[in-house]
C-alpha cells in the first residue's frame, strides 16, 4: 500500500471509530453543541441615569443576546434597595445575609447564571457605588459562585478620552474574574461619552450588540 492510501485508510478508520463510539445522536450533539448552547445571563447595570450611556450599551448587549436565543435577567442596581455589606460575617461566605432587601431577588439568578455582565459608568475613576454595593454582597454567595464555571463581560462608558483613565476599572474587572474563576468573554469600553445619548449611534453600541449576539 502506498503512503497516500495508507494515510487515507488510517483517517477513515479513526473517523469511523469516533462516530461509531458517539452514535448518530452523539455526533450531531458534538457538531452543534456550541451553536445550540443557550445561556442564562445576568446583566448588572450600575448607572442611576435610566437613559444613560452605559444603560444603553447594556440594552444593546441584551438585545443581541436575546436575538441569539439566550435568556437574560437584568438587574438595575441603582433602581433597587441593596444595603452595603457591613463585614459582620454572619453569612459565613455561604449563607443568609443579615439584610433582607432587594438583593434576595438577584440571589437565585446569580447562582443559576451561566454568565454575569457588569455595566457601569466611570464615577471618579471607579465603578459606580450602586454596582459596587451589589458586588460587595457577592460575599454571602462565595460558596455558590466562586470557582463555578461562569462567563463574564464588561461594558463601560466614560466622559474622559484618555485610555489610561479606564485602566484601573479594567484591572478591577479582571481581578474580580481572576478571584471568582470566571471567563472573560469581552469588553466594550466607550470613551468620550459625556451627554446622555452620546453613545447611541456609535460603533460602541454596535459592538455591544455584537458581543451579546456572538457569545
| Confidence (pTM) | 0.84
Q: Does the pLDDT at position 40 exceed 60? A: yes
Query: pLDDT tens digit string along 155-168?
Result: 999 999 999 999 99
Lowest-confidence segment of 35-49, 148-162, 176-190 by average pLDDT? 35-49
- pLDDT for 35 equals 54
Determine whether 174 is exposed, middle or buried from the number of CB atoms within 10 Å of its CB (0-12, 13-18, 19+): middle
User: Smallest Cα–Cα separation from 143: which of 100, 107, 102?
Assistant: 107
Mean pLDDT of the chain: 88
Residue 23 in this model has a pLDDT that exceeds 60: no
CATH class of 39-213: alpha beta
User: Within a 10 A sphere around the Cβ of 103, how many other Cβ atoms?
Assistant: 23
In the chain, domain spans: 1-36, 39-213
Give the percent of the chain with pLDDT over 90.
Answer: 83
Rounded to the nearest 10°, the torsion over CA 42, 46, 50, 52 is -110
| Cβ atoms of 105 and 74 closer than 8 Å | no
pLDDT tens by residue, 69-123: 999 999 999 999 999 999 999 999 999 999 999 999 999 999 999 999 999 999 9
Amino acid at each position: 500500500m502506498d503512503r497516500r492510501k495508507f494515510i487515507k485508510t488510517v483517517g477513515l478508520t479513526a473517523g469511523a471509530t469516533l462516530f461509531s463510539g458517539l452514535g448518530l445522536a452523539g455526533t450531531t450533539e458534538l457538531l452543534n453543541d456550541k451553536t445550540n448552547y443557550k445561556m442564562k445571563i445576568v446583566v448588572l447595570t450600575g448607572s442611576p441615569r435610566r437613559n444613560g450611556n452605559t444603560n444603553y450599551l447594556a440594552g444593546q448587549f441584551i438585545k443581541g443576546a436575546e436575538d441569539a436565543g439566550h435568556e437574560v435577567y437584568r438587574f438595575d442596581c441603582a433602581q433597587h434597595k441593596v444595603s452595603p455589606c457591613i463585614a459582620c460575617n454572619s453569612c459565613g461566605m455561604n449563607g443568609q445575609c443579615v439584610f433582607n432587601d432587594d438583593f434576595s431577588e438577584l440571589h437565585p439568578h446569580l447562582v443559576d447564571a451561566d454568565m454575569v455582565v457588569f455595566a457601569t459608568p466611570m464615577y471618579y475613576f471607579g465603578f459606580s457605588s450602586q454596582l459596587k454595593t451589589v458586588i460587595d454582597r457577592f460575599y454571602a454567595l462565595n460558596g455558590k459562585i466562586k470557582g463555578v464555571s461562569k462567563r463574564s463581560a464588561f461594558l463601560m462608558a466614560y466622559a474622559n478620552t484618555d485610555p489610561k483613565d479606564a485602566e484601573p476599572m479594567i484591572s478591577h474587572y479582571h481581578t474580580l474574574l481572576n478571584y471568582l474563576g470566571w471567563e472573560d468573554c469581552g469588553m466594550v469600553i466607550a470613551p468620550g461619552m459625556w451627554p446622555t445619548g452620546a453613545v447611541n449611534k456609535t460603533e460602541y453600541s454596535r459592538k455591544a450588540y455584537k458581543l451579546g449576539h456572538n457569545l
